[in-house]
Chains A and B, each alone.
Chain A
Amino acid sequence: DTAVSQTPKYLVTQMGNDKSIKCEQNLGHDTMYWYKQDSKKFLKIMFSYNNKELIINETVPNRFSPKSPDKAHLNLHINSLELGDSAVYFCASSQPLAGQETQYFGPGTRLLVL
C-alpha cells in the first residue's frame, strides 16, 4: 500500500547510455513532480505535471524528458547520460488545492553515472 513508489531504487550506468525511471502514486493526486537531490541534500524541482499535462519545466537539459501516461504515473527518461547527472531523483505527488499542497515523496532513485 505504498503511496508513492519509484523503480528502480538504484541505477548504475555508463556515460552516454539512456535510462528511464518510473513513478506511480496511489493517492489519487492530480499533480506529480520530479526533483533532483544533489550530494548536499538540496532538492531542486525539475518538472511538474498536473493531470497528465506539463505545468512546470525548470531549466533542465532537454536530455531529460518526462512522460505522464495517466495522472497516477510519471516517468523520467534520460538520454546520453553525463557524469553530472549522478544524484538521487525523487518523485512526489500532491493535490493542487489550497490547504492540500503537502507533497508526498517516493523513496528515491539513486543514479550513478560512471
Chain B
Amino acid sequence: EDQVTQSPEALRLQEGESSSLNCSYTVSGLRGLFWYRQDPGKGPEFLFTLYSAGEEKEKERLKATLTKKESFLHITAPKPEDSATYLCAVSTSGGSYIPTFGRGTSLIVHP
C-alpha cells in the first residue's frame, strides 16, 4: 500500500531561522510528488511538482528537492507570512492519477 509520511507534524521557527520539512514515501512507482500550501480556512494551493530523483524547484524562499525515498521542502529565512500547513502528495505510475496525501506539517514562523 502506498504511504506518505510527513515530519515533523508541527514546526515553530523564528523569523529568519531556516529549516526543512520532510516527506518520505513508499510507493510502487513514483509518477510525481506534489507540495501544497494550505492556509487556515482555505483550500490547498499548489507549490511544486517533482518527477525524478535529483530534481529541484524553487519559489521565493522555498526550495523542494526529491530523492528516491523522500522529498524535502527547504525554507530559507522564513517570514511570518510563510506560516501555513504544508502538504505533500504522491501519485504512482500504473494507477490512477489520484495522489495520496500525507498528514501535513503545520509551520508557524514567529516575528
- Name A's B-contacting residues (CB within 8 A): 4, 31, 33, 40-45, 48, 55-56, 90, 92, 94, 96, 98-99, 101-108
- Name B's A-contacting residues (CB within 8 A): 31-32, 34, 36, 38, 41-46, 49, 51, 85, 87, 89, 91, 96-99, 101, 103-104, 106
Q: Point out the residues of chain A lying under 8 angstroms from B97, CB to CB.
A: 31, 94, 96, 101
Q: Cα distance A40–B106 when bound, in Å?
A: 10
Does B38 lie within 8 Å of A106, measured CB to CB?
Answer: no
Does B43 lie within 8 Å of A108, measured CB to CB?
Answer: yes
Does B101 lie within 8 Å of A101, measured CB to CB?
Answer: no
Does B49 lie within 8 Å of A102, measured CB to CB?
Answer: yes
Query: Contacts A101-B32, A102-B34; is A107 near B101 (CB within 8 Å)?
Result: no
Does B43 lie within 8 Å of A107, measured CB to CB?
Answer: yes
Does A43 lie within 8 Å of B101, measured CB to CB?
Answer: yes
Identify which of A33, A99, A102 contacts B98 (C-beta below 8 A).
A33
Does A101 lie within 8 Å of B45, measured CB to CB?
Answer: no
Query: Contacts A101-B31, A105-B45; is A48 near B96 (CB within 8 Å)?
Result: yes
Provide a sorted-by-A list of 19 A–B residue pairs whose CB atoms are within 8 angstroms.
A33-B98, A41-B85, A42-B101, A42-B104, A43-B89, A45-B98, A48-B98, A56-B98, A92-B43, A96-B97, A98-B31, A99-B32, A102-B49, A103-B46, A103-B89, A105-B44, A105-B45, A107-B42, A108-B41
Given A43-B44, A56-B98, A105-B44, 6 additional A-B pairs, CB 8 A = A41-B103, A43-B101, A99-B51, A101-B91, A102-B46, A107-B43
In the A-B complex, list the 3 residue pairs whose CB atoms are closest, starting with the nearest: A105-B43, A43-B101, A101-B97
Q: Cα distance A104–B46 when bound, in Å?
A: 7
Which of B46, B85, B97 lies at the interface centre, i.e. has the most chain A CB atoms within 10 A of its CB? B97
Give the residue name and chain of the B residue nearest to A90 (CB).
B43
Give the residue name and chain of the A residue nearest to B42 (CB).
A107
Identify which of B44, B89, B91 contacts A90 (C-beta below 8 A).
B44
Q: Cα distance A90–B42 when bound, in Å?
A: 9
Does A108 lie within 8 Å of B42, measured CB to CB?
Answer: yes
